[in-house]
Structure 1
Amino acid sequence: MTTVHLRDDATVAPVADRWPGLALPRPDAVRSWLAERLFRHAVRAMPVRVVFPSGERLGAGGAGSPVMRLVRPATFFHRLGEGATIGFGESYMAGDWTSTDPAGLLTPFAERVAVLVPAPLRSLRRWVDAARPDDERNTVVGARRNIHRHYDLSHDLFAAFLDESMTYSCAWFAPGSDDLYAAQQRKIDGILDLAGVGAGTRLLEIGTGWGSLAIRAARRGAHVTTLTISTEQYESARRRIADAGLDERITVLSRDYRDASGHYDAVVSVEMIEAVGDEYWPEYFATIGRLLVPGGRAALQAITMPHDRMLATLGTHTWIHRYVFPGGQLLSVPAVERNAASAGLAVTERIGLGQHYVRTLNHWRRRFLTNRENLPGLDDVFGRMWEFYLAYCEAGFRAGYLDVWQFGLTNHSRPR
């Protein structure tokens, strides 16, 4: 790939030296022209303001509307033409555009994601959208590699924006409260209640995180086995569990869910299924069914998207796959229900928490912006990438394009 200097871009080469994915191929005048036309068409009626260095303004937003400032328009449209939505995110990473309210700016885009491209051109998206690379498949080996790329980045990074419980999933705020730590404990209690976890429960947790759920379940009197394939989280969770004096009640295993064995009264998994991948959803639910005793209860917390959008995006490779969650794939509610039913599991309860994720992500983004200067070795591109990631997700939940649910499931299989 050859890096070139565009007329209004004097900083592309240094950025690309540190982040090869941001290197620009030779400009394609047709793609850049088409990207600019589509962008102008898309934003003309949006409640945003797009400001060019020349002073030109686009959008229907008035005073107080989110502002997108194009720093290097030619580079922005070039990236957009070459990479579509991936290019949009890469442009923010590279500083081609800025905003003081990226979540507010991205929300109208998320609300219109299915219609941003005019109908006559939608059939061409299969040639524009990148295909998911084979090396991101969630095989037993591939899943460890994918998880390592996200969760093993740095304990300090996650500590910079999570609350003291180190809980990396949607919180559940009590009415009138904005306390993130309390909301995370409320969420954990909710998922444990759905699974009927109490004194003497044999509990399996798929996806340990930093150990907060396992610790809370053990304090209820449960005997917990928790699985993780993240090296950093395995070590951190073991330390936290030891510090809590709960070694005898909690067993932490560095093990893929597919290799789990035993029989459990309850299984819980909080926002881990997003990393399973669509080709392995049947095996994931079958594993839960296999490990649960007859009549046992499971509880999942899962981020979802509309079913039609899930079908339309299966197999595509997005900005979030390339830079944040390789191998990830969100389910829809029907996909959860169908895969569960195929494994002999019935969905008995469903609790929606989508708007709580807006607040959770807003907390995380503000904390990250406050603490990012204290993170050693964090370069500006990574900082913009992580800010864009948190804003991108917040916008999806604000728009209602994304949702998150707690699902209660029961194993209706016959005794073995």
Structure 2
Amino acid sequence: MNDPRTVAPEPDHRASAAARLVAPVFHRMLDRIDRALKMGAIEATLPDGTRRLLGGRAAGPVAVVDLRRWRALVRLATGGSVGWYDAWAAGDWDSPDAVPLFALFMANRVALGHSARSGGLAKLAARAWHRLRRNDRAGARRNIAAHYDLGNDFYSQWLDAGLTYSSAIFAEANEPLETAQDRKIAAVLARTGARPGDTILEIGCGWGSFAAAAAAEGNEVHAITLSAEQKAAIEAKALRGVTVALTDYRDVKDRYDAVVSIEMVEAVGQRYWPDFLDMVARVLKPGGRAAIQFITIADDVFPAYASSVDFIQRYVFPGGMLLSESRFRASAEARGLAWRDPHHFGLDYAETLRRWRVAFEAAVAEGRLPARFDERFVRLWRYYLMYCEGGFRGGGIDVVQVTLTEY
């Protein structure tokens, strides 16, 4: 190696003879990653015992990575983000804090190109699997159950008291999460322009935090979900002014003064965006408003993202898909829905995820998670929360609130 930023191994390094033999091949792979890092850096310890700095040319996230086996790079190259998770789960790499690494990948997403996307046969197999999880009526219910029906006794251990599983809006760094969640709910309700006595359809109602707040203001809320666990939780609260039903959004027939959807559209999928927006346009009464909160991925990587399967789709949220804001907006406008007052607050989501991760780790440490969840599950969710937080901090993932009205 002639890279001046590579530190030679100590005499008692851990590398085997085989590892030293194949090391030059993998160093060339690292060379490509190094050249693609336009901002931020990776401080890596490698299986051949060397320590190497990748990037470091401009300010940005700084990640510390212990690459224990070269196999991790093979998995990254062939499996993208799915392979990189598999490598982490197998102990092929580790980090004292993986959030900066995921932020770094996202911040350099264009230059890195397909480094975090599966390719070849792995990509074809992943896409075939993903097609089996499409969000038709039967598939949508299975996909929602796979994520949201993990159990109310699970989510209640690390979400806030209202069980709000979507981004908060913070006014200051140290305020309680519950306060920031209340602010988000109030912002969504304000977008509807609803007055006491108005009817609101909430599509994907979670555990009822928005419905409770809207009903407290005198609105009648019809909440729909595909999660049996969420429906049971809302029914147990016996909220006055709130009805809840296991209903697919495509089957809504009545008309409403307002429609609300908070981070539900990610479960729809690009193929069904027109169906979702047709429904919104159909059920809104004249002069009504829809308030939508949704998660986006940058247009500069959306085509590659949409044609592959990422870690979250494979292991956490089958059938899920982030939105291209420009494409979703165009689809809304094609259905006569005007796009009003978009508000982006991705860093608030990063902070929300950080708070969730702290609470999740406390629940793990105190043994409060249900016994049915083993260590493998815990590690998967730990990785998921870090992965998402890093995506928002890296700037390629965002969260948006928008109001839709008739032209």
TM-score for the superposition, normalised by structure 1: 0.84
Q: CA distance change for structure 1 residues 43 and 238 in 2, over 3 Å: closer, same or farther?
A: farther
Structure 1: distance between partners of 2:66 and 2:324: 34
- 8 Å contact from structure 2 (residues 81, 118) kept in 1: no
Question: Deviations for 1:120-175, whole angstroms, at most 9, x for unmatched residues?
Answer: x9999566634253211100000001111111112232223211110000000123
In structure 2, what is the equivalent of residue 392 of structure 1?
387
In structure 2, what is the equivalent of residue 163 of structure 1?
160
Question: Is the partner of 2:353 in helix, strand or coil?
Answer: helix
Alignment of 1:263-412 (within 5 A): 263-373=255-365, 374=367, 375=369, 376-412=371-407
Shift of 1:380: 2.2
Q: CA distance change for structure 1 residues 203 and 103 in 2, over 3 Å: closer, same or farther?
A: same
Question: Deviations for 1:88-118, whole angstroms, at most 9, x for unmatched residues?
Answer: 0111222222212111122111111222248
Shift of 1:278: 0.5
In structure 1, what is the equivalent of residue 83 of structure 2?
87
Structure 2: distance between partners of 1:391 and 1:382: 14
In structure 1, what is the equivalent of residue 193 of structure 2?
196
Structure 1: distance between partners of 2:272 and 2:100: 35
- 8 Å contact from structure 1 (residues 299, 407) kept in 2: yes
Q: CA distance change for structure 1 residues 122 and 203 in 2, over 3 Å: closer, same or farther?
A: closer
Question: Deviations for 1:47-91, whole angstroms, at most 9, x for unmatched residues?
Answer: 1211135531122488x94311123x1432342344222110111
Alignment of 1:1-400 (within 5 A): 37-43=28-34, 46-60=40-54, 65-71=62-68, 73-117=69-113, 125=119, 129=123, 130-131=126-127, 133-175=130-172, 177-240=174-237, 242=238, 246-247=239-240, 249-373=241-365, 374=367, 375=369, 376-400=371-395
- 8 Å contact from structure 1 (residues 35, 80) kept in 2: no
Structure 2: distance between partners of 1:281 and 1:97: 38
RMSD: 2.8
Which shows bigger deviation, 225-234 or 34-43? 34-43
Question: Is the partner of 2:320 in helix, strand or coil?
Answer: coil
Structure 2: distance between partners of 1:55 and 1:292: 63
Task: List runs of 5+ in structure 2 lacking aligned partners.
Answer: 1-14, 16-21
- 8 Å contact from structure 1 (residues 354, 404) kept in 2: yes
Q: How many residues are aligned here?
A: 377
Shift of 1:193: 0.3
Q: CA distance change for structure 1 residues 61 and 356 in 2, over 3 Å: closer, same or farther?
A: same
Q: CA distance change for structure 1 residues 163 and 334 in 2, over 3 Å: closer, same or farther?
A: same
Structure 2: distance between partners of 1:342 and 1:170: 28
Whichever residue aligns with residue 195 of structure 2, its letter is G
TM-score for the superposition, normalised by structure 2: 0.85
Which shows bigger deviation, 179-188 or 334-343? 334-343
